[in-house]
Amino acid sequence: MDKRVIIIGAAVLLIIIGAALFFMLRPGTEPVVEQTGLTEFERIRDNTMILAEDYMQKSDYQRALDLLDGLLIQDASDENVRALREKVLQARKLAEEAAKAEDRQQKEDLVGSIEDLGQSFNNNPQTVTLQQDRGPTENEKQQLAKQLAELEEQKRLAEQRRKDEEARLAALSEAERQKAEKVRSLIADGVRQMDEQKFSEARRNFDEAISLSPREAVAFAQKGESYFLEDKTNQINIREAVEFANKAVDYDNTLWIPHNTLGKIYVETRNWGQAINEFREASRLNPDNVNILYELGKVQYRAGQFNDARMSFEGVVHLDTNNYKALYNLGAVFLKLGKAGSALDSYKKAIAVNPSYDAAHYAAGNLLNQAGKFADAETHLKKAAALQPGNSKYLDALAVVLFKEGKYSDAEKYFNASLKIDPESAESNNNMALAIMKQNRYSEALDFSAKAVQLESSNAVYLYTLGEISSSLGDKTNAAVVYEKAAAVDPAYLLPRINLGKIYDESGEYDKALEHLLKAYKLDPESLEVNNNLGNVYLHTELYEDSIRHYKKAIEKKPNATLIRYNLANAYIETKRQDLAVKTLQELIKVDSKFWDAYYRLGNLMFKDGDEAGASAVFKTLLEKNPNYKNREEIEALIQ
């Protein structure tokens, strides 16, 4: 057997026994009661398992696993220990997945830099205005000027510290100078080995440097950094990193490295406040290092300190005008500050520095999409997709813009490319269905829509799309079923209720139609579609006053809505208000001089009111403009 295995096993067993004894004998705990029939090892094993579970509850998974592994070295067949170990592993896995998910979200917030548009046409993303943003306030200008002045002062102080160190070294004796050079050489070798991922070798160099100079802060700092870089998810590594970083600070409070390490550790634990403090101190001590200032800006962003993040990223750009990532992140910050115009300017500056920066093209394209500038959005999104043709997010965003431009076949092409990368994307399947539906290929669209619903059966938007396609195929019954489900899934979703109102109105099920349309009216009493459809149902149920009220509200939203005016006129006729009906029909003809039934209806009204001359003039105009009108013979008989 490998001696290392024996040594490790023995060491782990000693840790187990020591931990168990500590658990049994620590002050304030109840003494362990002698259990009949248990050996000494069994008692230690039981207490060790309790301690391991305690560590697990405190999220110190590695300690728990170390204890349990030690027990399994002694008895690999112990099912209870194995079960607890599996429980710890599962808990660690869930914790890591949760941390990764949160980290991904945070990175998307910053790297993506834009709000999630939900690339679906039915979502109606909030629009933005790209007007020139109001410039910084006097206070903001003063803050920025102060920060930049402090940055320059910090640079001056850092330079002075460097000169002081050079002077100190120059004043050393030859022996001291040689020792100092040896220490510096060992540290430099260790740093190089860290770059090569040789962390154990690096630490041996740092330890040798410390043996020559026991208070060598840089060696302690780099040793702490090595533990962090080696495995930032391992609790033991993190504890070592913190210990050595703090020692480095104790020995030299002008050294930036340990503060940078501590800042990164606090980022890993989501302790944004402490991370900000450490990065800010590291940046103060090393003001020429743009990476520290950049990391500070990222943490400030994640902490919701957007104005501070803006100043940090502007500080990075002040030091490095070609730092396109800082320019890009400035765009993200400006969006959070409600300055869409400045955000777009920042993205464009990032692109100017690095024309191949796909993320900036994507961000600019999405922002232009939200602003309704589809042609410009298309340009940027095509560039992003060309740079990263395997990124389905870029392909989907481009397809959405092409759809909005009415370029349905082009949109279909890019949705198809996206689905080749991710065929199980419910959103892409739904959008593909919409693009094909717009080209009147309803049967093809049905397949994609059905798959979207199959993948996400509780998505009201996808159900609505399926209802639209079913209706277009003439299957009103299935359309109603799907719309009902969409309304049940999302009671605040207006569109399925509007379409249910139409379907039930057409089938004479007026109670059902009113049920959905009145709910829709509560959600949006100003909706053109809701008021028009309510007007229709009330007209068909001979509730003319209600019909008139809703038609008038609909016309307020859309004054050129000819059919609504025509129906309003019919409602006036049914309530014996001929003068209002005449006026409404005359207004309709002004809006649409080819709405032939309006002439016919108006002429008949005038005849009934005894205005034969006026009626004849209206009928003659109708027949002159449309000689083939369907009721020509009837009209000619009236005006002879």
Question: Mind listing the pLDDT tens digit for each residue in 357-387?
Answer: 999 999 999 999 999 999 999 999 999 999 9
pLDDT (average), residues 236-243: 95
pLDDT at 557: 93
- Higher per-residue pLDDT: 206 or 144: 206
Return the percentage of the chain with pLDDT > 90, whole number.
Answer: 68
Given a cut of 60, whether residue 424 has pLDDT beyond it is yes
Given a cut of 90, whether residue 467 has pLDDT beyond it is yes
Cβ(82)–Cβ(72) below 8 Å: yes
Given a cut of 80, whether residue 10 has pLDDT beyond it is no
pLDDT (average), residues 392-402: 96
| Lowest-confidence segment of 114-118, 143-147, 411-415, 440-444 by average pLDDT | 114-118
pLDDT at 92: 82
Q: Where are the alpha helices (DSSP H) in 75-213?
A: 79-107, 138-170, 174-195, 199-212
Given a cut of 60, whether residue 288 has pLDDT beyond it is yes
pLDDT at 98: 66
Instruction: For residue 470, count other CB atoms closer than 10 A to its CB.
Output: 22
Given a cut of 60, whether residue 2 has pLDDT beyond it is no
pLDDT at 37: 59
- Residue 475 gets the label, from left (phi > 0), alpha (psi -120 to 50) or beta, of beta
Given a cut of 70, whether residue 12 has pLDDT beyond it is no
**What are the domain boundaries of the chain?**
3-96, 172-270, 504-639
pLDDT band at 1 (very low <50, low <70, confident <90, very high): very low
Given a cut of 80, whether residue 319 has pLDDT beyond it is yes
pLDDT at 117: 31
pLDDT at 429: 96
Cβ(187)–Cβ(206) below 8 Å: yes
Q: Which CATH number fits domain 172-270: 1.10.10.60, 1.10.520.20, 1.25.40.10, 1.10.287.40?
A: 1.25.40.10
Cβ(138)–Cβ(268) below 8 Å: no
CA angle 158–307–228, rounded 5-degree value: 55
pLDDT at 131: 59
| Lowest-confidence segment of 89-93, 359-363, 557-561 by average pLDDT | 89-93
Question: Do the first three CATH levels of 172-270 and 504-639 match, i.e. the same topology?
Answer: yes
pLDDT at 33: 36
Taking Cα atoms as reference points, which of 331, 339, 349, 399 lies closest to residue 112? Answer: 331
Given a cut of 80, whether residue 28 has pLDDT beyond it is no
Instruction: For residue 129, count other CB atoms closer than 10 A to its CB.
Output: 10
Q: Which residues, 6+ apart, have CB-to-CB distance to 533 below 8 Å?
A: 498, 501, 502, 505, 513, 517
Given a cut of 90, whether residue 20 has pLDDT beyond it is no
Cα-trace Rg, the chain: 37
pLDDT (average), residues 498-505: 96
pLDDT band at 70 (very low <50, low <70, confident <90, very high): confident
Residue 577 exposed, middle or buried by CB count within 10 Å (0-12, 13-18, 19+)? middle
Helix (H, G, I), strand (E, B) or coil at 117: coil
pLDDT band at 163 (very low <50, low <70, confident <90, very high): low
pLDDT at 58: 67
Cβ(596)–Cβ(629) below 8 Å: yes
Cβ(631)–Cβ(637) below 8 Å: no
- Exposure class string for 12-36: b at 16+ Cβ within 10 A, else e: beeebeebbeebbeeeeeeeeeeee
479, two tokens: 């359309």
Q: What is the DSSP string of 189-215?
A: HHHHHHHTT-HHHHHHHHHHHHHHSTT
- Higher per-residue pLDDT: 85 or 406: 406
Q: Domain 504-639 sits in which CATH superfamily?
A: Tetratricopeptide repeat domain (1.25.40.10)
CA angle 20–25–29, rounded 5-degree value: 105
pLDDT (average), residues 334-351: 95
Cβ(267)–Cβ(243) below 8 Å: no
pLDDT at 64: 82
Q: What is the DSSP string of 43-82?
A: HHHHHHHHHHHHHHHTT-HHHHHHHHHHHHHH-TT-HHHH
pLDDT band at 17 (very low <50, low <70, confident <90, very high): very low
371, two tokens: 């602003």
Cβ(312)–Cβ(296) below 8 Å: yes
Given a cut of 60, whether residue 125 has pLDDT beyond it is no
Give how far Cα 482 sits from Cα of 266, 443, 466, 518, 626, Å. Answer: 49, 17, 7, 19, 42
User: What's the rounded Cα separation, in Å, for the pair 192 and 185?
Assistant: 11
User: What's the rounded Cα separation, in Å, for the pair 313 and 309?
Assistant: 6
Identity of the amino acid at 438: K
pLDDT band at 130 (very low <50, low <70, confident <90, very high): low
pLDDT band at 14 (very low <50, low <70, confident <90, very high): very low
| Lowest-confidence segment of 84-98, 394-408, 543-557 by average pLDDT | 84-98
Longest Cα–Cα distance in the chain? 129
pLDDT at 250: 94
